[in-house]
Structure 1
Amino acid sequence: MIALADAAATEAFGRALAERVRPGDVVALSGPLGAGKTSIARGLLAALGLEGEAPSPSYAIVQPYAPPEVAFPVLHVDLYRIDDPDEAEELGLDDGRADLLLLVEWPERLPDSVWADALVLTLTIETDGSRALTARVPAAWKDRWPL
């Protein structure tokens, strides 16, 4: 478990994570509303070179980023509004997956089997307002985890 004291610590974790991610990775961010999923994504995207604040993809569902905006292609996906797993097929999440980072919020909207190779980060909100982060680390991350 990793303790994240506040929003700044949560974004800093995202920046540290950016030093370890590479094309072909899937990072799934799980947790309740307001837990810090988008803060981690914003820190990661900023460390990959994104200038300005990354918008939450809640309404667009998929927000792509490409060089020179970021160091390598990233698909930032928010599955919150997906009600049926069949809807996700239309998003093209597997297209070119080997060449980009797939950063997914609300992965629990799809079957767990979809995320077998993903670094799954789960955030919880603690009683003092801090965040606790736990990780399910796949084999591909064994040499890169913990941060």
Structure 2
Amino acid sequence: MSKELEPFHCLSQIFLHKSAMQHHAREVHSGDVKPHQCQNCLKTFSSNHQLTQHLRVHTGEKPYKCSYCDRRFKQLSHVQQHTRLHTGERPYKCHIQECGRAFIQLSNLQQHLRNHDNQMERSKNRPFNCNICGKGFASESSLRTHRLK
């Protein structure tokens, strides 16, 4: 599995959402030493690599160029993700068989899965379905009213 396809992780813990990992980091690792400091804005970083990437925010340097077009990027992972627009690669696939959708970014798949969850929740609360349009209703009387329209 390539580094960019991996879920967010912290040693032995795995997080599907970046925000969950960030919350974990704040709660559990708040005392961690971050010895690499940006001289422009005084933010600190755990590694020199993180600091180097951050400095591009201030310098505007974009060392990574798309091989298909003229766009440039600050991070290698960003150009790799952008390149998928040209190649059509969609590595993040929905696991729900009847869906079949696939996405360029993990975050797009995660949002899509939340939509599936919301639809499932709505269908639980709306068990009465119109046999013409498929719309669900919470009560049989609401379904009857819908059919009359």
Per the shorter chain, which TM-score range? under 0.3
Work out which structure has the larger RCO, using CA pairs closer than 8 Å and 6 or more positions apart in sequence: 1
TM-score when normalising by structure 2: 0.18
Q: Which has the larger radius of gyration?
A: 2
Provide TM-score, normalisation by structure 1: 0.18
Which structure shows the bigger proportion of residues in helix conformation? 2
Which is strand-richer, 1 or 2? 1
